[in-house]
């Protein structure tokens, strides 16, 4: 259903908007994707699945969240991608691509990283598969994500700081594309999300689709039926497409892409800043990093600086397939702001004993907004507000990663706010 | 056979041609006008003007920095076109920009409004570093409708069917990328240049070589290897960034490069005029 007439695109989205020098590499990659991933040539997919089982810890559980179920008056199940090796769903894609590069006879891996989650997953996969690996990371991110930089170095990857622009994910992608355009004959670029030129959006989706494939089987077994809705946070959209893909054909299952509302959805056109990363909710069509998709951009077409308290959602673009699924009405884009995400971070930690990534906390934040006690009370609608009604009685939330990496940010951001679910930390001397 | 465009004519009549690139609005549009005139006086036969985009993935550090300076100075597509409206130089002008800038020029994402405005401003052609032949149909059609050339880049990795496709769609000239990687001045001419020119020799489209050309001797070597023109960008952008009153330096550099190109042509017979 998500595939349209042209195999390089999703309706009007996708395509291959890259310098000519990269086109032969994309053709080569497309051929390898079709043979190894789609047709399991040389047992590639068997090898991949075995490694994800033994090295990666798959399958991950689908867990009924008892306190959340009670709070939201519906069955809430959590897909525990935070339990994948490395602490997030990122390894599903990184290991798939590094292994594919190996099957293709490439000698070197490069990757971009924002907060460092994709970089650390790629470095782990490269160490596991003995591939030389270089990670590009914006200077600002290098400075604020020191533990992740160290993790990558420990796994043997080189980390190249990028000094241009604001020094974040967008600049890191630009730098990696530049490296690739000179090293393309020997090097594979492990892109970190369902973005970029074809075949990356489809290939990354396929590596991540194990999330939804497992969850779909597990929910049928554990709850006896398909869910009414699936919630996943959306930045570039790799955990989103990973969670949704298996359900796209199940038309009664609502799919909610929860974006980062940042501090506000208002755009500051003059400064070229969007204080959010709600691309699906507010973006307009354009071309960035090789694909036609929805973007946060100025009227002239300059890409905006995006923002989210969660570095992993902080990107001005989004996967083209998500743009397409939103346009045809199959995926519903919603957003929650920094504050709601932080609150949800604390709530899951407190109620269920699971510290979620700030990214995943957005999906949980939406559940609170739609189905939390305030939602129904404030609107005066009992027993359920409209958004709550839409989510239904059986909800799967993808916990895309664990939140240990976010503790510093959360400490800092929680102090500035009066959050309902935050713990009392008077124990610290001030 | 179709008649030559302004660009093809400029290359054939001034063979071997010097094609100069600078980023419009670096450091201001007023100064860009001055620099374009200096390059024209110095012997540039075609001038490419970069319209800055915030994510220039094909550029090396020199042109990235120029693009940032231009964006900080507030260059917009409209102010860019107003600059071009007012320019009066002999060399035909091309705009080099990224696809999203072209798409966003009208009220809805579409290529037509940009191409129409470019034609009105008197631009002779467009180069889009992130638009491969596969995605180029809408822009190619709009350019044909408005009499503009659409220049394609031929990379060292381009061969076989891809080369056929590109060479059947290109107009103006084929932009031969001298080496893999991004733009930027280098100290030598790569072996990839010779290979590319050999692959292209059977096509009757002017070939100009860029990416890394910075000196008269490079220009000579490239023309000797069979190119119809040399493209110089980063070396000129460096002069703008480094020199006080760079107009004089730009004019002198253009003279040096043009003389180099001529030197390279002395040993090769001029191609027949069609």
Instruction: State the SS3 of A306-368.
Output: CCCCCHHHCCCCCCHHHHHHHHCCCEEEEEECHHHHHHHHHHHHHHHCCCECHHHHHHHHHHH
> Does A90 qualify as catalytic in the annotation?
yes
The values of phi and psi at residue A193, to 5°, are -150, -175
Chain B: give the shortest CA distance to residue A305, in Å. Answer: 10
Other residues' Cβ atoms within 10 Å of the Cβ of residue A254: 19
A286 — contact with chain B (CB < 8 Å)?
Answer: yes
Nearest by CB: B135 against A16, A178, A288 = A16
Q: Distance (Å, rounded) from C-alpha A45 to C-alpha A49?
A: 6
| Residue-wise pLDDT tens digits, A15-53 | 999 999 999 999 999 999 999 999 999 999 999 999 999
**Are A301 and B105 inside 8 Å of each other by CB?**
yes
More confident residue, A387 or A226: A226
Residue A4 pLDDT > 90: no
Best residue in A14, A195, A287 for a mutation probing chain B (most B CBs within 10 Å): A287
Over pLDDT 90: what percentage of chain B? 81
pLDDT number for residue A6: 66
The single residue of A170, A202, A400, A405 carrying the catalytic annotation is A400
Question: Is B48 annotated in the active site?
Answer: yes
Which of B57, B64, B166 has the CB atom closest to A19's CB atom? B57
B229-236: average pLDDT: 96
Do the Cβ atoms of A21 and B64 come within 8 Å? Answer: no
* A430 or A62: which leads in pLDDT: A62
| pLDDT for the residue B1 | 43
Residues B139-172 have pLDDT tens digits of 999 999 999 999 999 998 898 899 999 999 999 9
Q: What is the pLDDT of residue A165?
A: 77
Considering only CB atoms, which chain A residues are within 8 Å of B156?
A: 21
**CA dist B238 → B2, B88, B184, B235 (Å):** 38, 24, 10, 5
What pLDDT was estimated at residue A5? 45
Q: Which of B37, B59, B251, B256 is catalytic?
A: B59
Task: Determine the pLDDT at residue B243.
Answer: 84
Q: Which residues have a Cβ under 8 Å from the Cβ of A429 and sit 6 or more positions away? A: none
pTM for the whole structure: 0.94
Q: How far is CA A115 from CA A50, A120, A128, A138, A261, in A?
A: 28, 10, 22, 9, 18
Across the interface, of A17, A295, A297, the residue whose CB is closest to B99 is A17
Alpha carbons A110 and A108: distance in angstroms, whole number: 7
Chain A's closest residue to B159, CA to CA, is A24
Inform me whether the C-beta atom of residue A285 falls under 8 Å from chain B C-beta atoms: yes
Weakest mean pLDDT among A4-8, A38-42, A102-106, A269-273: A4-8
Select from A274, A302, A275, A268 the least CA-distant residue to A288.
A302
**Bond prior to A45 in cis (omega within 30° of 0):** no
**Best to test chain A binding among B75, B95, B102, B104 (most A CBs inside 10 Å):** B104
- C-alpha distance from B242 to closest chain A C-alpha (Å): 19
Question: What value does the mean pLDDT take over residues B107-126?
Answer: 97
- The pLDDT value recorded for residue A381 is 54
Instruction: Write the residue in B55, B56, B130 that is nearest to A18 by C-beta.
Output: B130
Residues 137-166 in A contacting B (C-alpha not used; CB under 8 Å): 164-165
C-alpha A191/C-alpha B40 separation (Å) is 43
Tell me, yes or no, if A400 is annotated catalytic: yes
Over range A167-191, report the average pLDDT. 91
In A, minimum Cα distance to B104 occurs at: A301
Please judge whether B132 and A290 are an interchain contact, meaning their C-beta atoms are less than 8 angstroms apart. no
Cα B43 from Cα B16, distance rounded (Å):
11
Q: What is the pLDDT of residue B270?
A: 55
Of residues B179 and B63, more confidence is placed in: B63
Q: Between chains, do A20 and B177 touch, taking CB under 8 Å as contact?
A: yes
| ipTM score of complex | 0.94
How much is the mean pLDDT over chain A? Answer: 93
Distance from CA of B53 to the nearest CA of A (A): 6
pLDDT, tens only, A88-144: 999 999 999 999 999 999 999 999 998 899 999 999 999 999 999 999 999 988 988
**Which residues does residue B91 pair with via DSSP β-bridges, in sequence order?**
none
Question: Could you report the per-residue pLDDT of A209-240, keeping only the tens digit for each?
Answer: 999 999 999 999 999 999 999 999 999 999 99
CB pairs under 8 A between A and B: 119
Residue B268's pLDDT is: 59
Mean pLDDT over B113-124 rounds to 98
User: Is the per-residue pLDDT at A160 higher than 70?
Assistant: yes
Q: How far is A362 from chain B (nearest CA, A)?
A: 28
pLDDT: is B268 or A225 the higher one?
A: A225
Within 8 A of A323 by CB-CB distance, chain B residues are none
Mean pLDDT, rounded, for A282-290: 97
Q: What average pLDDT does chain B have?
A: 93
Q: What is the mean pLDDT of residues B221-240?
A: 95
In the predicted model, is pLDDT for residue A425 greater than 80?
no
Between residues 10 and 29 of chain A, which touch chain B (CB distance below 8 Å)? Answer: 15-21, 23-25
Q: Bigger pLDDT: A282 or A378?
A: A282
Q: Searching chain B, which residue's CA lies closest to the CA of residue A294?
A: B109
Distance of CA A29 to the CA centre of its chain: 22
Question: Which position among A112, A171, A352, A413 bears the catalytic label?
Answer: A112
Rounded Cα distance between A323 and A280, Å, is 6
pLDDT(A58) > 90:
yes
Residue A16: its chain B contacts at CB < 8 A? 132, 134-135
- Which residues in chain A are closer than 8 Å to B58, comparing Cβ atoms? 19, 178, 181
The percent of residues in chain B predicted with pLDDT above 70, rounded, is 95
Q: What is the pLDDT of residue A271?
A: 79
Q: Which residue has the tokens 């507010």?
A: A282
Measured between CA atoms, the residue of chain A closest to residue B100 is: A287
CB A305 within 8 A of CB A232: no
Q: Which two tokens stand for residue A33?
A: 């994707």
Instruction: Enumerate the residues of chain B whose CB falls inside 8 A of the CB of residue A290.
Output: 130
């Amino acid at each position: 259903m998500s595939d349209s007439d042209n195999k390089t695109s999703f309706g009007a989205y996708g395509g291959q908007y890259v310098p000519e020098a990269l086109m032969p590499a994309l053709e080569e990659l497309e051929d390898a994707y079709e043979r190894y991933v789609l047709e399991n040539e040389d047992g590639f997919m068997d090898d991949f699945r075995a490694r994800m089982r033994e090295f990666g810890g798959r399958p991950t559980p689908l867990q009924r969240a008892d306190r959340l179920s009670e709070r939201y008056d519906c069955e809430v199940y959590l897909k525990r991608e935070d339990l994948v090796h490395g602490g997030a769903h990122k390894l599903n894609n990184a290991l798939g691509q590094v292994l594919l590069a190996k099957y293709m006879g490439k000698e070197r891996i490069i990757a971009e990283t924002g907060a460092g989650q994709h970089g650390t997953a790629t470095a782990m996969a490269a160490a596991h598969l003995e591939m030389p690996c270089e990670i590009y990371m914006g200077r600002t991110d290098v400075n604020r994500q020191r533990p992740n930089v160290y993790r990558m170095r420990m796994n043997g990857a080189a980390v190249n700081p990028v000094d241009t622009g604001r020094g974040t994910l967008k600049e890191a992608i630009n730098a990696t594309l530049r490296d690739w355009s000179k090293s393309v004959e020997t090097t594979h670029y492990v892109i970190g999300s369902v973005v970029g030129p074809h075949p990356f959006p489809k290939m990354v989706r396929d590596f991540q689709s194990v999330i939804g494939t497992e969850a779909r089987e597990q929910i049928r077994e554990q709850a006896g039926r398909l869910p009414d809705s699936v919630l996943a946070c959306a930045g570039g959209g790799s955990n989103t497409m990973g969670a949704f893909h298996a359900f796209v054909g199940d038309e009664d299952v609502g799919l909610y892409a929860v974006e980062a509302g940042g501090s506000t959805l208002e755009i500051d056109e003059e400064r070229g800043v969007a204080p959010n990363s709600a691309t699906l909710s507010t973006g307009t069509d354009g071309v960035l990093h090789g694909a036609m998709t929805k973007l946060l951009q100025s009227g002239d077409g300059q890409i905006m600086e995006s923002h989210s308290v969660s570095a992993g959602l902080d990107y001005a673009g989004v996967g083209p397939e998500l743009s397409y699924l939103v346009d045809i009405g199959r995926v519903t884009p919603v957003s929650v702001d920094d504050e709601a995400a932080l609150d949800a971070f604390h709530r899951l930690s407190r109620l269920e004993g699971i510290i979620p990534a700030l990214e995943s906390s957005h999906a949980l934040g939406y559940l609170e907004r739609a189905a939390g006690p305030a939602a129904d009370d404030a609107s005066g609608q009992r027993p359920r507000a409209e958004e709550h009604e839409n989510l239904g009685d059986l909800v799967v939330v993808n916990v895309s990663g664990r939140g240990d990496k976010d503790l510093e940010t959360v400490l800092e951001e929680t102090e500035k706010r009066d959050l309902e679910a935050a713990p009392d930390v008077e124990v610290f001397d001030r | 056979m179709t008649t030559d465009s302004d660009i093809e004519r400029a290359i054939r009549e001034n063979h071997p041609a010097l094609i100069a690139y600078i980023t419009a609005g670096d450091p201001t549009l007023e100064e860009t006008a001055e620099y374009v005139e200096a390059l024209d006086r110095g012997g540039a036969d075609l001038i490419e003007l970069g319209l800055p985009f915030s994510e220039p993935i094909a550029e090396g550090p020199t042109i990235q920095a120029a693009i940032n300076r231009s964006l900080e100075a507030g260059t917009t597509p409209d102010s860019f076109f107003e600059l071009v409206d007012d320019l009066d130089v002999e060399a035909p002008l091309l705009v080099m920009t990224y696809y999203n800038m072209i798409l966003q020029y009208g009220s809805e994402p579409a290529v037509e409004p940009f191409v129409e405005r470019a034609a009105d401003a008197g631009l002779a052609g467009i180069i889009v570093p992130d638009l491969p032949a596969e995605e180029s149909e809408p822009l190619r059609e709009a350019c044909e409708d408005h009499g503009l050339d659409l220049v394609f880049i031929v990379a060292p990795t381009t061969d076989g069917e891809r080369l056929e496709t590109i060479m059947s769609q290109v107009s103006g000239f084929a932009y031969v990328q001298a080496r893999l990687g991004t733009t930027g001045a280098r100290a030598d001419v790569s072996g990839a240049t010779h290979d590319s020119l050999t692959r292209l020799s059977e096509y009757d489209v002017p070939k100009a070589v860029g990416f890394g050309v910075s000196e008269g001797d490079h220009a000579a070597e490239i023309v000797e290897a069979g190119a119809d023109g040399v493209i110089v960008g980063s070396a000129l952008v460096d002069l703008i960034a480094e020199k006080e009153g760079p107009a004089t330096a730009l004019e002198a550099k253009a003279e040096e490069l043009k003389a180099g190109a001529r030197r390279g042509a002395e040993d090769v017979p001029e191609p027949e005029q069609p």
